[in-house]
Amino acid sequence: MKYKNIAAAALILFMAGCVKDSFNLNKLKKTEYNPTVAAPLVFTSLTLDQILKQNESDLINVDGDGFISLIYRSSLFSSTAEDLIIISDQSYSQTVSPGLGPAPLPNGNTLNYPETQTLTFAAAPNQLDSIMLKGGSLDITSNSGFDATLDIIMTIPGATIGGIPFSQTINIAANSSDNSSFSLSNYKFDLTNGGTNTNEFQVVFDLTLTGNGGTINTTDQLDIDLTISNLQFSKLFGVVDISNIAPQEDTVAITLFNSASGIGDFTIFNPEVRLYTENSFGTTIEASFNRMEGINTISGVTYDLSVSGALPTPWTISGPSYSQMGQTIDDSLIINGSDIVDMINDQPKFFVYDIGASTPSAASQIFVLDTSSIKFDAEIELPMHGTIKNFTMIDTVGLDLGMDAVVDLTLTTRIRNGFPLEFDITFYSLEWDDVNKVYNLTDSAYTGSNILVAESGAIDGNGRVTTQVETQTDIVMNETQTRNFANASRMIIKAVASTSNNGTTNVKFYNDYELEFKIGAIAEVLTEF
């Protein structure tokens, strides 16, 4: 039993921690003069504050007044720009054909021919204004059909470092080829083609032919293959599509309800679902809720918030402005109200999220850094404030009564209850079947409607316990019950919890609530004289 079930199982937590291995009457000192032996078995107390210290978890929040809330957190997903935006390799096959001649080019004479070509940067559906590169290479394969030495000055006016354009010279012998490679690291690419478009840039080829006595023909040309590969960006500017932030599904376990073996009436006041985002993309992001459900796997009840009207459609998430480039903007969405109350009171064991995100529209101008990311976290807060009726909890503990000695058995219990819950408690014996390797239920410690009732602590008008209430009960077992419990190796403890007035009283749970529990045994044993 975990402390997350404090709202309905404080007694079970106590007994699971204290009763195990306690029922061993063989340890009692026998006497030849008194066949009846009385001894305490358990005497201890438990506070919620002690539970918190023994079970450290970020799921429990205690405010300044000691009021308890259960908080369930999950990191839904996180996506980075480098994961979402891949700049594909760029390949171009260009031909420069001056159309000169036919005419001989005397040895040592030169002929110059410039040509500018506009190339498309393949980035669709993105419409990029510019890109800052932190890595990449430009590979050039040149094949000259000129019967002359060829010098090529290739310039990309829009690719600059410190305002200086990319420019490289390639020397090719007559009627030969060349392979060259250049780094593009730290270059800024202006892809507006002089401010007229997007995803375009110019390449200038400045050809100088130096004659060797051969002839220049009109069909002579230069064939150039350009490959821009392994591009890594540090910044992107323009219309950048991040709609490939795929819908992400995650599940948060609501462990408060995990140990419930019987579905009772359970209400929690003012629960909240909170979503938190961290966004460093240079744009607002629109989140869509494809699914947001509370699911009870035992009852089969599913409550879908995405169709209840409780969620915004879409949820607009803030992002940094241009002046905030490199910063992360936090945003949140708090979901409360009757829809959340209805969902939580269906006792979901799981809360399922399915969230997608994208830029607001295809025309949005944004910036993206390589470090830009979007992160979604979820949090469910359940204040321990509400009502409980017939919420059933079950635990199993070890049992050893000494089967050869015990004739009659009476268990005496005294409970000082400082919790705002009334517990109806029953005990059942389990005997090990060594043949079938299973535990079989053999008996109950009670007959008919006779059960152990632990009265609720006294509660004031604010739903807080002001005074502990003591309950004393003797459980007298008949011969059959004694025999069955004597043969048992385990015991089931079943508690049905309700707030007072038949589960209608509104109560609150504080960390100073205390349960004092005593168990004693009066046993008649066989003795030899």
Query: What is the tens place of the pLDDT at every residue in 166-193?
Result: 999 999 999 999 999 999 999 999 999 9
d(CA 392, CA 382): 19
Question: Would the pLDDT of 4 be above 50?
Answer: no
Question: Would the pLDDT of 295 be above 60?
Answer: yes
Report pLDDT for 402. 53
| DSSP state letter for 4 | G
Between 32-46, 204-218, 274-288, the lowest mean confidence (pLDDT) is in 32-46
The pair of three-digit structure tokens given for residue 480, joined into one six-digit string? 């059959």
Give the model's confidence band at 491: pLDDT under 50 very low, under 70 low, under 90 confident, else very high. Answer: confident
Report pLDDT for 181. 98
Percent over 70 (pLDDT), the chain: 82
Question: Would the pLDDT of 9 be above 50?
Answer: no
Distances (CA, A) of 504 to 47, 116, 388, 424, 463: 24, 84, 7, 16, 11
Report the pLDDT averaged over residues 391-406: 66
The 10 Å CB-count burial string (b at 16+, else e) for 123-151 is beebbbbbbebeebebebebebbbbbbbe
Stronger pLDDT, 48 or 507, i.e. the higher one: 507
Give the model's confidence band at 5: pLDDT under 50 very low, under 70 low, under 90 confident, else very high. Answer: very low
Report pLDDT for 478. 82
Report pLDDT for 166. 98
d(CA 64, CA 385): 16
Report the pLDDT averaged over residues 355-381: 85
| Strand 465-467, strand 350-358: pairing | unpaired
d(CA 13, CA 99): 93
Enter the pTM of the model: 0.75
Contact 395, 1 (CB under 8 A): yes
Q: What is the DSSP string of 17-48?
A: HHTTTT-BGGGSPP-SS-SEEEEEEEEEEEEH
Report the pLDDT averaged over residues 305-310: 81
Q: Which domains does the chain have, with CATH numbers?
A: 3-67+388-525 (no CATH), 73-83+241-383 (2.60.120), 88-238 (2.60.120)
| Strand 188-190, strand 507-508: pairing | unpaired
**Environment class of 86 (CB within 10 Å of its CB; exposed 0-12, middle 13-18, buried 19+):** exposed
Question: Would the pLDDT of 82 be above 90?
Answer: no
Report pLDDT for 392. 75
Stronger pLDDT, 136 or 73, i.e. the higher one: 136
Question: Would the pLDDT of 3 be above 50?
Answer: no
Give the model's confidence band at 38: pLDDT under 50 very low, under 70 low, under 90 confident, else very high. Answer: low
**Environment class of 510 (CB within 10 Å of its CB; exposed 0-12, middle 13-18, buried 19+):** buried
* Residue written as token pair 């705002």: 420
Stronger pLDDT, 11 or 314, i.e. the higher one: 314
Report pLDDT for 49. 62
- Compute the mean pLDDT over every residue in the chain, rounded to the nearest whole number: 83
Question: Would the pLDDT of 11 be above 60?
Answer: no
Question: Would the pLDDT of 144 be above 70?
Answer: yes
Report pLDDT for 354. 85
Report which of 77, 87, 129, 126 is spatially closest to residue 370, judged by C-alpha positions: 87
The 10 Å CB-count burial string (b at 16+, else e) for 166-196 is beeebebebeeebebeeebeebbbbbbbeee
In 336-372 the beta strands, taken as DSSP E runs, fall at 350-358, 366-369
Give the model's confidence band at 237: pLDDT under 50 very low, under 70 low, under 90 confident, else very high. Answer: very high
Give the model's confidence band at 247: pLDDT under 50 very low, under 70 low, under 90 confident, else very high. Answer: low
Between 65-74, 165-174, 275-284, the lowest mean confidence (pLDDT) is in 65-74
Q: What is the DSSP string of 457-512?
A: PEE-TTS-EEE-EEEEEEEEE-HHHHHHHHH-SEEEEEEEEE-HHHHT--EE-BTT
d(CA 148, CA 132): 38
Give the model's confidence band at 33: pLDDT under 50 very low, under 70 low, under 90 confident, else very high. Answer: very low
Report pLDDT for 1. 35
Tens of pLDDT, residues 88-105: 999 999 999 999 889 999
Residue 314, preceding peptide bond in cis (omega within 30° of 0): yes
Q: Which amino acid is at 149?
A: T
Contact 452, 426 (CB under 8 A): yes
Report the pLDDT averaged over residues 487-508: 83
Report pLDDT for 83. 82
Contact 368, 235 (CB under 8 A): yes
Among 245-254, 343-352, 394-403, name the most confident range: 343-352
Identify the H or E element spanning 228. Answer: strand 222-239
| DSSP state letter for 256 | G
Contact 137, 230 (CB under 8 A): yes
Give the model's confidence band at 2: pLDDT under 50 very low, under 70 low, under 90 confident, else very high. Answer: very low
d(CA 303, CA 307): 9
Non-local (6+) Cβ contacts of 296 within 8 A are 257, 263, 302, 346, 347, 348, 349
Tens of pLDDT, residues 445-485: 776 556 788 889 888 888 889 999 998 888 888 888 877 87
Give the model's confidence band at 218: pLDDT under 50 very low, under 70 low, under 90 confident, else very high. Answer: very high
Report pLDDT for 276. 94
Report pLDDT for 20. 40
Distances (CA, A) of 325 to 279, 280, 319, 320: 11, 8, 10, 6
Report pLDDT for 410. 83
Q: What is the DSSP string of 106-129?
A: -TT-EEEEEEEEEEE---TT-EEE
